[in-house]
Amino acid sequence: MGIVLNKPLDGMSFDDLLKQLDLDPLPPARRIRLMQGGPVEGGRGFVLHTADWETEGSLRVNPDIALTASLEILKAIAGGGGPSAGFLALGYAGWGPGQLEDEIQRNSWLSVPADTALLFESAPEGMWREALARLHVDPAALSGTVGRA
């Protein structure tokens, strides 16, 4: 399971989401970005956030980042509390058994360590460029041909 990090959700705001979920307060004291988390279960939400706030159901991704999929976090954020930074992803990406491992082994993925600056301070449309820059990779130098040296 994975979450797409850089595709803003068009046509819905945090206020709209709270109304659909019958959550108060309206208008909220705070708002977070809504993102398209992936093509699977588009009605299911996941908040990727800083680990300075957690609840029993939160999953620690690394020491600084957590993932929470409960209404409790949305209530906290709308009320002015919750984590210092985060976004809500609707849906997720999924792979069959062994599929992701196979893709990684074939060098189909480039990965960088996750950090709060990249995830929560970068503009979504430029996030992939910033991630590649951390690997010292020029996007113009990428090829569609995969191989090993």
Domains and CATH numbers, the chain: 14-94 (3.30.70.1300)
| Distance set, CA 1 to CA 19, 119, 139 (Å) | 28, 18, 26
Strands 65-68 and 40-50: antiparallel
Query: What pLDDT score was predicted for residue 107?
Result: 83
Give the strand order in the sheet containing 86-92: 33-36, 86-92, 40-50, 65-68, 59-62
> How many whole angstroms separate alpha carbon 136 and alpha carbon 46?
30
Query: What pLDDT score was predicted for residue 144?
Result: 75
Which parts of the chain have pLDDT scores under 70? 146-149
Query: What pLDDT score was predicted for residue 148?
Result: 66
Phi, psi dihedral angles at 28 (to 5 degrees): -70, 155
For residue 21, how far is the Cα from the chain centroid? Answer: 20
Query: What pLDDT score was predicted for residue 9?
Result: 95
Phi, psi dihedral angles at 79 (to 5 degrees): -85, 0
For residue 110, how far is the Cα from the chain centroid? Answer: 17
Whose structure tokens read 């959700």?
9
The answer, yes or no, to whether the previous bond of 25 is cis (omega within 30 of 0) is: yes
> How many whole angstroms separate alpha carbon 21 and alpha carbon 104?
38
